[in-house]
């Protein structure tokens, strides 16, 4: 490499050779990257599915199967696992195939970055029954207590999100309060030192629940009758016959 | 940097040891400090980061050493970067496939291995001038030294910051997290303490350097 005693510029090899070298290396590189991508594609997708599944089952205690849905103002659409990225609602069923709750994502800006959470909603009890943080960069030791603090997580055993009479929004807004001052079932007992993170969680849940739950209320009957969760969906058979009349275009 | 006369010797223990102790990339050459500070908050993260960097270093050193007479020196840096980036991408996908949790913990720092000075520095200073066997021994040493350094920082930060080691609680339920060691300043504090320790030991050893090998276990 260091044989030449002439300065660098005159000893320039033909640009053809330079281009050829770079092109060859770039092509080899492209081949390797595509190969690795192909090999890892399936495991990566499986990891994401498993992580989501774990989160869904965490926020819907007692569920052991899940169905993906896309809930929009136009309606509720069932999605296969291939389209899981588009899903915004996951219904959780127990072993008998009855609906326990639905899991939905919510997000709000926290102290460091956007906090994304998944929460479980029980239509029967009209409250939030589970909560887990999907993504957060909150300060370790302070804001990240929203993921682990047992007293804080106890808020989500049954956080009241009942709808108002017109079914247009929440009856009572979810609010974060100072630690130890929770008096109403729709209040979130805060964490000292993590006020901003707790308020972000409250805001995320409030906005998401206020927007999604009224839409969900109109489509709830579609969830209680899943197509192929369980062969015998005994208790729901009669319901579904009635429901079918309301919604002829249901699959 | 590595003394040039080494390249004619057999690929022996010397060049391996250089990376681990005498030319330790983090503690002596102060290379690759960005990941050493950023993802060394737990023992597992730092070990994974160290191993990922080592795999990239070994792979790119091997290729560059094999192609050292083919790559024209005018385009060598560009070629090195492409080769390193390829291995980084492969490692990135592999970690993503192995563990989503680890992938999320390491974040963008896996992709940033591509700009780790240690790797480009090794390729330019060693792999491009030495035969494959010597290069691989040297890269193994450097990789081990980097991994060891990150692992030391990560272990100390995890033990003090979380009270755990590989997620195993050490101090019982009453342990109050020493949050500063998990936060970025903790990385600087631990790194500087270890740098001081290494400098101190080096200074003490200096007079007796030639005859003594010394144990360098952590």
> Which value does ipTM take for this structure?
0.77
Full-model pTM: 0.73
Within its chain, how far is the Cα of A114 from the centroid? 13
**A62 dihedral zone (left: phi>0; alpha: psi -120 to 50; beta):** left
The set of residues, in sequence order, having a beta carbon less than 8 Å from that of B67 and lying 6+ positions away, is: B79
- What pLDDT is attached to residue B208? 60
Q: CA A103, CA A153: separation in Å to the nearest integer?
A: 16
**A75 dihedral zone (left: phi>0; alpha: psi -120 to 50; beta):** left
Residue B122 pLDDT > 80: yes
Q: CA B39, CA B44: separation in Å to the nearest integer?
A: 10
With CB atoms and an 8 Å threshold, state whether A140 touches B68.
Answer: no
Residue A251 pLDDT > 50: no
Confidence of residue A236 (pLDDT cuts 50, 70, 90): very low
Residues 191 through 210 of chain A touching chain B, CB cutoff 8 Å:
none
With CB atoms and an 8 Å threshold, state whether B93 touches A44.
Answer: yes
With CB atoms and an 8 Å threshold, state whether B70 touches A21.
Answer: yes
B129–chain A Cβ distance below 8 A for any pair: yes
Distance of residue A36 Cα from the nearest chain B Cα, in angstroms: 6
Average model confidence (pLDDT) across chain A: 81
B100–chain A Cβ distance below 8 A for any pair: yes
Q: Are B190 and B157 in contact (CB under 8 A)?
A: yes
Establish, for the pair of chains A and B, how many residue pairs have beta carbons separated by less than 8 Å.
Answer: 75
A34–chain B Cβ distance below 8 A for any pair: no
Confidence of residue A240 (pLDDT cuts 50, 70, 90): very low
A247–chain B Cβ distance below 8 A for any pair: no
pLDDT digits (tens, 9 = 90+) for A72-99: 877 788 888 777 777 888 998 888 888 8
Report in angstroms the alpha-carbon separations of B56 from B46, B75, B88: 15, 20, 6
Give the residue with greater pLDDT, B206 vs B33.
B33
| B177 chain-A contacts, CB cut-off 8 A | 140-141
| B161 chain-A contacts, CB cut-off 8 A | 140-141
Distance of residue A240 Cα from the nearest chain B Cα, in angstroms: 39
Q: Which two tokens stand for residue B12?
A: 């022996």
């Amino acid at each position: 490499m260091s044989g030449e005693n002439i300065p660098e510029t005159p000893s320039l090899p033909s640009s053809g050779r330079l281009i050829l070298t770079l092109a060859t290396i770039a092509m080899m590189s492209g081949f390797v990257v595509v190969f690795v991508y192909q090999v890892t594609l399936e495991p990566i997708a499986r990891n994401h599915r498993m992580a989501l599944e774990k989160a869904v089952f965490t926020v819907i205690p007692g569920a052991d199967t899940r169905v993906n849905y896309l809930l929009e103002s136009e309606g509720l659409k069932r999605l296969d696992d291939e389209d899981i990225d588009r899903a915004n609602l996951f219904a959780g069923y127990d072993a008998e195939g009855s609906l326990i709750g639905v899991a939905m994502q919510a997000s709000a800006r926290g102290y460091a970055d956007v906090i994304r959470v998944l929460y479980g909603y029980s239509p029967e009890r009209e409250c939030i029954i589970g909560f887990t943080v999907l993504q957060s960069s909150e300060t370790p030791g302070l804001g990240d207590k929203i993921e682990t603090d047992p007293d804080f997580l106890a808020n989500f055993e049954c956080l009241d999100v009942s709808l108002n009479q017109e079914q247009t929004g929440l009856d009572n807004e979810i609010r974060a309060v100072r630690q130890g001052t929770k008096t109403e079932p729709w209040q979130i007992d805060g964490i000292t030192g993590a006020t901003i993170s707790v308020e972000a969680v409250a805001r995320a849940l409030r906005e998401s629940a206020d927007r999604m739950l009224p839409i969900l209320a109109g489509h709830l009957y579609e969830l209680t009758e899943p197509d192929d969760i369980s062969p015998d969906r005994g208790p729901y058979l009669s319901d579904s016959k009635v429901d079918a009349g309301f919604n002829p275009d249901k699959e | 940097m590595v003394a040039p006369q080494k390249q004619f010797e057999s690929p022996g223990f010397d060049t391996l040891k250089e990376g681990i102790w005498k030319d330790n990339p983090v503690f002596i050459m102060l290379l690759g400090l960005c990941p050493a500070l950023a993802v060394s908050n737990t023992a597992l993260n730092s070990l994974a980061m160290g191993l990922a960097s080592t795999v990239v270093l070994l792979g790119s050193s091997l290729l560059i050493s094999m192609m050292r007479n083919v790559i024209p020196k005018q385009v060598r840096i560009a070629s090195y970067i492409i080769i390193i980036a390829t291995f980084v991408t492969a490692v990135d996908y592999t970690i993503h496939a192995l563990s989503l949790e680890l992938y999320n913990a390491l974040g963008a720092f896996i992709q940033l291995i591509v700009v780790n000075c240690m790797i480009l520095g090794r390729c330019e200073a060693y792999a491009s001038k030495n035969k494959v066997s010597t290069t691989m021994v040297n890269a193994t040493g450097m990789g081990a030294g980097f991994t060891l350094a990150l692992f030391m920082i990560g272990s100390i930060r995890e033990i003090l910051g979380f009270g755990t080691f590989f997620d195993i609680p050490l101090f019982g339920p009453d342990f109050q997290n020493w949050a500063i060691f998990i936060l970025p300043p903790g990385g600087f504090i631990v790194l500087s303490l270890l740098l001081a320790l290494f400098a101190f030991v080096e200074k003490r050893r200096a007079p007796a350097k030639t005859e003594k090998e010394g144990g360098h276990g952590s």
